[in-house]
Amino acid sequence: MILARNILLVDDEAPWLRTLSVTLQRLVPEAIIDTCVDSRQVMNRLEATDYALVLLDLTMPYHSGEQLLESIRQAQPNTRVIIVTGVNEVETAVRCIKHGAYDYFIKTDDVADLGRSVRRALEVVGLERNYKRIKDSFLSKTLSRPDAFSHILTCEPAVLDQFRYLEAIAFSPEPILIEGESGSGKQAFAQSCHLLSAPDAPFITINLAGISARQFDKQLYGELSTEPGKSVAGAIHKAGSGIIYLKEIAELPRESQAKLVELLEQKVYFPLGSEQSYAVNCRFIASTQADLLALNKDGKLRSDLMYRLRGHKLSLPPLRERRLDISILLNHFVQQAANELELSPPPVPANLATQLQDYPFPGNINELKAMVLDAVSRSSSVTLNTAPFMQAVNDCKDVAAPVAKFSFGAELPTLAEISQALIDEAMSRSAQNQTAAAQMLGISQSALSRRLTKDK
Ligand SMILES: Nc1ncnc2c1ncn2[C@@H]1O[C@H](COP(=O)(O)OP(=O)(O)OP(=O)(O)O)[C@@H](O)[C@H]1O
């Protein structure tokens, strides 16, 4: 939940201001509350501090609440105003709402209702501010913090766009989802977000591949035990105001999904074995290789979790769609591998990147990195050993080549049955297009047509 915090309470009765301030602080503990007893100072106070919300009395000396409402809406249109007054008149209330008041309360109204309205107004202002920051940042063509991306090498426009988007949303309290094939750089982007938003706080990874609901709950929420030394601190506690990276979110057991949604919404959690709630201060980044929409359709992923996670979504293209990057990544990983192996970096053959242009890199950047490490470890200092690359390219060609093998059971089908099955398959694959089906079967369209008519 996004909450702007600063509230100004305006009323000429100092004791009432004190009471209201204490009550509101109890109802909305995150709020930062200031008070003002002199209506003449309100506009100056608003200029000096960025208030999200003003609670305004109507009957005051010097400037009436209605006059102030108009001035505030003109000068600070992003600040919301709630009227809290002793005047119980429907016409006044209607007039105030018409002139832009967010809500209207009588001092004798239930204070819990006022608390709820204040919270809603703060959320609205918070969402507006968040949206504006994201828009401004995304529209600007330059990065303000390029250093946060220095470990991600790329010259592909699609990836550079993701840098700007991540920079724009890095401070949003909503979770971030990073989609991409294995080894496409999801964790590297999560680390950039950490560098941008909370570099001094921890970054904790929880890998959800094959995890049970109980293991997940224990790792995330921790467990309180009455036995000494048996309590376990959870990742939320350890992360503080840092980041928790939920790797492979699609594998989260269904039993744990509803609880995670509640945590993301309420921003509180209960450690296992505890009735007491604790505040969540960290941010969540989730990654997935799987198609969440398809999992949702199959009933494996709750809709509320999916929509909650997809609020901010980055999609990383696979390496086969980032051909421009192959050459820089090759050189970078050669240098990195040589450092690791304490060798001097062997020169990369000029045509190697071109030879890899059609290779699909199913393991993406991880695969390229591993190939380079293998190649460097087999190289002399004169040139890079290209055998691991060529091996992968050739293996891929072998797999792609058609395999002309059929397997039959103990009893062979007749020639007529086989040819009928082939024709049916070709017609089905070509969506009943005779020309395309004939091409697949290696016969003329008229020959196919004759066979089809004969069958009727
Ligand atoms: N653009 C890049 N430039 C340099 N190194 C990169 C780049 N992208 C990723 N890497 C490196 O490639 C490796 C794989 O990246 P990463 O672990 O972020 O991928 P991933 O998508 O999270 O993988 P997986 O889904 O398998 O966990 C890491 O060592 C990472 O540092």
- Would you give the distance in Å from CA 114 to the centre of its chain? 33
pLDDT of res. 405: 58
Domain ranges of the chain: 6-135, 146-317, 325-400, 415-455
Q: Is 127 left (phi over 0), alpha (psi -120 to 50) or beta?
A: alpha
Give the binding-site residues of ligand 1, using a 6 Å CB cut-off.
152-154, 180, 182-188, 289, 329, 332, 365-366, 369
pLDDT at residue 456 is higher than 80: no
Rounded to the nearest angstrom, the distance between the alpha carbon of 350 and the centre of ligand 1 is 24
Structure tokens at 67: 């006059």
Q: Ligand 1, residues 315, 366, 371: which to mutate, most atoms within 8 A of Cβ?
A: 366
Q: Ligand 1, residues 150, 182, 187, 372: which to mutate, most atoms within 8 A of Cβ?
A: 187
Summarised one tens digit per residue, pLDDT across range 385-412 is 999 999 888 887 766 555 555 677 778 8
Would you report the helix, strand and coil content of the chain in percent, each value rounded to 5? 50, 10, 35
How close are the terminal C-alpha atoms of the chain, in Å?
67
Nearest CA owner, ligand 1 atom 8 = 185
Summarised one tens digit per residue, pLDDT across range 353-363 is 989 988 999 99
pLDDT of res. 409: 73
> Mean pLDDT of all residues in the chain?
90
What is the C-alpha to C-alpha distance for residues 245 and 177, in angstroms, rounded to an integer?
10
Q: Which amino acid is at 92?
A: T
Nearest CA owner, ligand 1 atom 7 = 152
pLDDT of res. 134: 77
Nearest to 221 by CA among 166, 258, 285, 274: 274
Indicate the pLDDT class of residue 3, thresholds 50, 70 and 90.
Answer: low
Nearest atom in ligand 1 to the alpha carbon of residue 364 is 14
pLDDT of res. 137: 72
pLDDT at residue 213 is higher than 60: yes
Nearest to 176 by CA among 158, 162, 190, 196: 190
State mean pLDDT over 179-191: 96
Structure tokens at 436: 């395309």
Question: What's the Cα-to-Cα distance from 283 to each of 132, 186, 202, 237, rounded to whole Å?
Answer: 20, 16, 11, 12
Instruction: Name residue, tokens 């060529």.
Output: 390
pLDDT of res. 167: 92
CB-neighbour burial class of residue 183 (10 A; exposed 0-12, middle 13-18, buried 19+) = buried
pLDDT of res. 30: 87
Domain over 146-317 is classified CATH 3.40.50.300: yes
SS3 80: strand
Q: Comparing 6-135 with 146-317, is the CATH topology the same?
A: yes
Question: What's the Cα-to-Cα distance from 223 to each of 171, 245, 258, rounded to whole Å?
Answer: 29, 20, 19
SS3 32: strand
Rounded to the nearest angstrom, the distance between the alpha carbon of 280 and the centre of ligand 1 is 28
What is the C-alpha to C-alpha distance for residues 113 and 105, in angstroms, rounded to an integer?
9
Nearest CA owner, ligand 1 atom 23 = 183
Domain over 6-135 is classified CATH 3.40.50.2300: yes
pLDDT at residue 292 is higher than 80: yes
Q: Residues of the chain with pLDDT > 90: what percent?
A: 67
Nearest atom in ligand 1 to the alpha carbon of residue 188 is 18
Q: Which amino acid is at 142?
A: T
pLDDT at residue 2 is higher than 60: no
Q: At what angle do helices 434-441 and 415-429 cross, to 10 degrees?
A: 130
Q: Ligand 1, residues 149, 192, 335, 365: which to mutate, most atoms within 8 A of Cβ?
A: 365
Query: In terms of pLDDT, which residue wins out, 330 or 430?
Result: 330
State which CATH number among 3.90.1150.10, 1.10.8.60, 2.30.110.10, 1.10.760.10 fits the domain covering 325-400: 1.10.8.60
pLDDT at residue 333 is higher than 80: yes
Rounded to the nearest angstrom, the distance between the alpha carbon of 34 and the centre of ligand 1 is 48
Indicate the pLDDT class of residue 1, thresholds 50, 70 and 90.
Answer: very low
- Length of the chain counted residue by residue: 456
Structure tokens at 41: 């100072």
Read off the pTM.
0.68
Nearest CA owner, ligand 1 atom 6 = 152
Summarised one tens digit per residue, pLDDT across range 53-80 is 999 999 999 999 999 999 999 999 999 9
Judge whether 120 and 1 are in contact, CB under 8 Å: no
Q: Residues of the chain with pLDDT > 70: what percent?
A: 96
Alpha helices in 226-377 (DSSP H): 235-239, 254-266, 292-297, 303-309, 325-341, 352-355, 364-377
Which range among 131-135, 185-189, 387-391, 412-416 shows the weakest confidence by mean pLDDT?
131-135
State which CATH number among 3.30.540.10, 1.10.10.60, 3.40.1390.10, 3.40.50.800 fits the domain covering 415-455: 1.10.10.60
Rounded to the nearest angstrom, the distance between the alpha carbon of 378 and the centre of ligand 1 is 23
pLDDT of res. 419: 87
Summarised one tens digit per residue, pLDDT across range 310-330 is 889 999 999 999 998 999 999
What is the C-alpha to C-alpha distance for residues 216 and 424, in angstroms, rounded to an integer?
50
State mean pLDDT over 223-240: 92
Nearest atom in ligand 1 to the alpha carbon of residue 180 is 21
Rounded to the nearest angstrom, the distance between the alpha carbon of 152 and the centre of ligand 1 is 8
pLDDT of res. 81: 97
